[in-house]
Structure 1
Amino acid sequence: MHKMYTMLLLIAILVNGCQSSTQQENDIRFEANWESLKEYKIPEWFADAKFGIFIHWGVYSVPAYASEWYPRNMYQDSVLWHQTDPEKSKPGTNSVYTHHVETYGHPSEFGYKDFIPMFKAEKFDADQWIHLFKKAGAKYVIPVAEHHDAFAMYKSNVTRWNSVEMGPKRDIVGELQQASKKEGMHFGVSSHFAFNWDYFNKEERFDTWNPEYEDLYGPKHERYAPVSKEFMDLWWRRTTDIIDSYQPEILWFDFYIDRKEFAPYHPKLAAYYYNKGLETGQEVVLQTKNMYFESFPAGSNVLDIERGKLSDIRSAVWQTDTSIGKNSWCHTEGWQSKSANSLIDDLIDIVSKNGTMLLNVGPKADGTIPQDQVNVLLEMGKWLDANGEAIYGTRPWDKFGEGPTIVKQGHHSEGNNKAFTAEDIRFTKKDKILYAITLDVPEDGKVLIRSLANHPKINANTVKSVEFLGEDAVASWNFTGQGLLVETETGLKAENALAIKIEVDTNL
């Protein structure tokens, strides 16, 4: 009798425990409305990560000409269509169309679809890529799952145009995901498919007019017509297919889903993705650009700014996505790499304002990453090895920094920025430590931090130690009427930014 009673009691506890657990799960599930979705919290792991790698690699890497927009421009022989505004379109052929005709033939005979068998990825090694990205200091990886060209770089249950059935005959996204897990890196994907609606110029003289290829080139319609419900439903099925099949920790979207036609899908998408994260035990991150209007209200996801930054601290974590390439996201024969020095400066500036950097690489069609890009990544990794404690896991201080150089704000603003100087200093903090990072190395070994003049928490009575990160040189310091002066007489070996660690006796 006693044993039976004990068993019944145990069953009751287990049942009630399961009910309680289920109830808790139901209590925290998100509903498809903004009031519910504003309860979303950006995961701490993402706020700590600071640096990720973006990968633009696909069929457009085969022609390797101009940019990843080759598929669009090869069909523009008479009108140069602006991506969203018909008033900004203009007559005239372009170099991409001319190059295509001269190299491959007229797009009626050799269309974009004909590049797919040429995309073999024969040297692609996911483990090698991820190992490189980890050496670069990246904490998360986001390959393009599908670009505007509608070719899926994964095993799709929705479209035949995918890398498992065609081209490489491999699950590119799946292989990168597994390699990322082995290296302990967070994994996400990006979707650019929404713009497929208006990406290709569909006219009778091109193969884009052929109904046999409509599921690649998109349905026929008048230029800039509102996105149809049928297409949005297709976008939804492709997107949820990625979420369900790969359960990415980050889901990044390009600009076109910010159009008003997609607005009814936005809360539905966020709720679906966040609830899937709850089901799989993942803390997930949804990223969009809010380029046309506030399609996702503040607090409901992570704001991403393309090729640009913010000019001040934002209370919520945000992200810059930019490319190593000055002129392209995918590999091209004319690719021009930025310097590691400039990218390190950008990373520091972004982190000081509560942001993270998503830095793009452009592999060749065969799956190799060009050496100039590798060199940039390794140099960044070298700096982060020595100075990473001033970046990872930090939070913004009272102010982001000081110095003469003004940073332009907004999408596609990076080309308007001037190079930083040794007088430009950026701040981060962690517990009882303030990090002051100069965005160039002072030739005389002296750094004057003017923001610490008469500071209530950081002064001669509270500072316990001051040291250079990644340096053998000993730092001497003292407070003057102008601020904290840090210097060394033994010389500095830093080639990029110089990080100074200031420890005080209280939390900042």
Structure 2
Amino acid sequence: MTTNDKKYTVARTTYCKRLIPGFMIVKVKGGASMTEETSRGDIESTKEKEWTAADFSQLPEHAQLEKNWTWFQNQKIGVLLHWGLYAQAGIVESWELSDADRWARQPKAWRPNMTQLKQDYWGLAQQFAPTHYDPAAWAAVFKNAGIRYAIFTTKHHDGFNMYHTQYSDYHADADLFGAFAQAMTQAGIGVGAYYSKADWHHPDYWRPDGTPKNRGIDFDRHQDPERWQRYVTFVHHQLTELAANYGPLRMLWLDAGWVGDAREPLALDQIIPALWQKQPQMLAVDRTMGGRFEQYVTPERQVPDIQNRPVLPWESNIPLANNWGYTPGDTYKSIGEIIRTILQVVTLGGNIVLGVGPKPDGTLPAPASRLLHQLGGWLALNGQGIYNTRPVAAAAIAAARRQGYAITQDDRAYYLFPLASVPPQTLDLHALHLPDTQPIVTRLGWQGQPFPVKAQHVVRLPGSLRQSLHPGLRIAKV
């Protein structure tokens, strides 16, 4: 099975709960990575302008962008919090509101008809009361997990604002993003702001007239340019609030890939450069749009193919469970799956952001907390081979894979991680074709002696090592 997009392969196969015939067919290469469903309709693949690093080199923000890219590529692991009224409902984010997105209401809709569904969903704002929200506790969990940056959903497509905005009365009682940003910054975790460019609650995007809607605007902007301009101004005001009021932001993560210059232009060239005056370290991520304001690429629920990696810095975003937001009884991935997918992403030079859906009371789901705790234990031993690393040449990646390993490097060493749950018994250094190495192989996170290397440059790994979960190996550079 193959995708229409040749760049990416879905992380692994699974039973599809919401399969819609003909929606998406996936191809799996190499196995041993994270589960992803094939039936979701929320994965946008629009690319209006495909840019390379050379295109950015001509822009006035290029020097700062190079610094921002370096910071980003050193971090490797982030977390993405989808949290809003959909947690109160326990449904797949806010997608059920879109009449055209029938996939989100399968196998059973939240309400029996769309009129009642929308009425009840908009009314959730009166019930949403996250009385146990403790962002400092979240920050402690993320810090211990080895998370380097955290992206918070300030507003999903439903238009419910998780921060205090002057431009809408449809928001949480407390400034939830403000408390989050402060806690993360104090913990030394980079802060990102997710913001949906669509707003299904705003009357200049969707009229509250009871007519069926798709995910885009419900009018012809050419016939009513004043209405569209009001919405553009509203978005600009909100983006200005986020950049002005919440301390240093590392990324502005713009979602809703159907909102772009071809169909719903937001004049980002008039607002984002102004935001950079306040936030020069902020990466603009106009997801799936390409061009000047997609400064890094975000393959969703996917690991790129080795030969077709994005030319720009990139970040695979994959939820710990099946859904981004909290749904009761959701299926979570295993720690082995998570680590294997991290290895597959990092060996190709990417970052990974792990999706977590907080509960409506403001706590993190217990399965997510457990997985993050386990991840932190693994990174405490093996993080040297993950953070601040860069990819090796494609031929060396392929050579390592043939032996069952993922490989990374920094200025001092190469790092290899077995991809299988049971590591190989040997490592053939010569077959890796790494000319600048010393025959000194040690285990990450341990102070023991180097493993003996035979004359043929083959290392036999001890049985105790093969009982560990994806143990990292370090090969010194000359």
Both structures adopt the same fold (TM-score exceeding 0.5): yes
Structure 2: distance between partners of 1:188 and 1:501:
32
Match of 1:379 in 2: 374
Letter in 2 for 1:345: R
Of residues 314-323 and 128-137 in structure 1, the stretch that sits farther from structure 2 once superposed is 314-323
Letter in 2 for 1:53: V
Letter in 2 for 1:325: A
Of residues 223-232 and 340-349 in structure 1, the stretch that sits farther from structure 2 once superposed is 223-232
**Counterpart secondary structure, 2:80:** strand
Equivalent of residue 488 in structure 1, options 455, 461, 467: 461
What aligned pairs does 1:412-491 form with structure 2 within 5 A after superposition?
423-442=403-422, 445-449=425-429, 451-453=431-433, 455-458=434-437, 463=438, 465-470=440-445, 475-478=451-454, 480=456, 484-491=457-464
Match of 1:397 in 2: 392
Note if 1:231 corresponds to 2:207.
no
Structure 2: distance between partners of 1:320 and 1:258:
21
**Counterpart secondary structure, 1:234:** helix
Structure 2: distance between partners of 1:258 and 1:485:
54
Match of 1:100 in 2: 111
Structure 2: distance between partners of 1:265 and 1:205:
29
CA distance change for structure 1 residues 275 and 450 in 2, over 3 Å: closer, same or farther? farther
Does the CA contact (< 8 Å) of 1:266 and 1:296 recur in 2? Answer: no
Structure 2: distance between partners of 1:119 and 1:469:
45
CA distance change for structure 1 residues 224 and 423 in 2, over 3 Å: closer, same or farther? farther
What aligned pairs does 1:48-59 form with structure 2 within 5 A after superposition?
48-59=74-85
Count of residue pairs brought into register by the alignment: 411
Match of 1:5 in 2: none
**Counterpart secondary structure, 1:35:** coil
TM-score, normalised via structure 2 length: 0.76
Equivalent of residue 171 in structure 1, options 168, 175, 180: 175
Aligned-pair distance for 1:233? Answer: 2.2
Note if 1:141 corresponds to 2:150.
yes
Aligned-pair distance for 1:150? Answer: 0.6
The runs of 5 or more residues in structure 1 that have no matched partner are: 1-31, 83-88, 164-168, 210-216, 406-421
CA distance change for structure 1 residues 335 and 351 in 2, over 3 Å: closer, same or farther? same
CA distance change for structure 1 residues 383 and 368 in 2, over 3 Å: closer, same or farther? same
Match of 2:187 in 1: 183
Does the CA contact (< 8 Å) of 1:441 and 1:498 recur in 2? Answer: no
Aligned-pair distance for 1:257? Answer: 3.7
Does the CA contact (< 8 Å) of 1:316 and 1:354 recur in 2? Answer: no
Among all aligned residue pairs of Structure 1 and Structure 2, give the percentage whose two residues are the same amino acid.
20
CA distance change for structure 1 residues 223 and 373 in 2, over 3 Å: closer, same or farther? farther
Does the CA contact (< 8 Å) of 1:401 and 1:426 recur in 2? Answer: yes
Structure 2: distance between partners of 1:497 and 1:250:
31
Structure 2: distance between partners of 1:229 and 1:33:
31
Aligned-pair distance for 1:325? Answer: 1.4
Match of 2:7 in 1: none
Structure 2: distance between partners of 1:177 and 1:123:
17
CA distance change for structure 1 residues 391 and 258 in 2, over 3 Å: closer, same or farther? farther
Does the CA contact (< 8 Å) of 1:314 and 1:354 recur in 2? Answer: no
What aligned pairs does 1:299-338 form with structure 2 within 5 A after superposition?
301-312=295-306, 314=310, 316-326=312-322, 328-338=323-333
Aligned-pair distance for 1:242? Answer: 1.1
Note if 1:253 corresponds to 2:260.
no
Structure 2: distance between partners of 1:198 and 1:477:
69
Note if 1:35 corresponds to 2:59.
yes
**Counterpart secondary structure, 2:268:** helix
Please give the per-residue CA displacement for 1:410-463, whole angstroms capped at 9, x wherever unaligned.
Answer: xxxxxxxxxxxx94322211112111222125456323356424x4323xxxx0
Does the CA contact (< 8 Å) of 1:258 and 1:289 recur in 2? Answer: no
Match of 1:127 in 2: 136
Aligned-pair distance for 1:187? Answer: 1.0
Match of 2:273 in 1: 271
Equivalent of residue 124 in structure 2, options 115, 123, 139: 115
Note if 1:503 corresponds to 2:476.
yes
Equivalent of residue 68 in structure 1, options 63, 75, 93: 93
Aligned-pair distance for 1:123? Answer: 1.1
Letter in 1 for 2:279: G
Structure 2: distance between partners of 1:274 and 1:242:
12
CA distance change for structure 1 residues 225 and 464 in 2, over 3 Å: closer, same or farther? farther
Structure 2: distance between partners of 1:289 and 1:438:
32
Does the CA contact (< 8 Å) of 2:400 and 2:407 recur in 1? Answer: no
CA RMSD of aligned residues (A): 3.6
Structure 1: distance between partners of 2:392 and 2:297:
20
Please give the per-residue CA displacement for 1:197-256, whole angstroms capped at 9, x wherever unaligned.
Answer: 8999867557x99xxxxxxx9975369999923222222221122111224221111123
Does the CA contact (< 8 Å) of 2:382 and 2:444 recur in 1? Answer: yes
Does the CA contact (< 8 Å) of 1:142 and 1:189 recur in 2? Answer: yes
Structure 2: distance between partners of 1:205 and 1:263:
25
The runs of 5 or more residues in structure 2 that have no matched partner are: 1-55
TM-score, normalised via structure 1 length: 0.72
What aligned pairs does 1:344-359 form with structure 2 within 5 A after superposition?
344-359=339-354
CA distance change for structure 1 residues 117 and 437 in 2, over 3 Å: closer, same or farther? same
The higher-RCO structure (CA 8 Å, 6+ apart) is 2
Q: Which has the greater radius of gyration?
A: 1
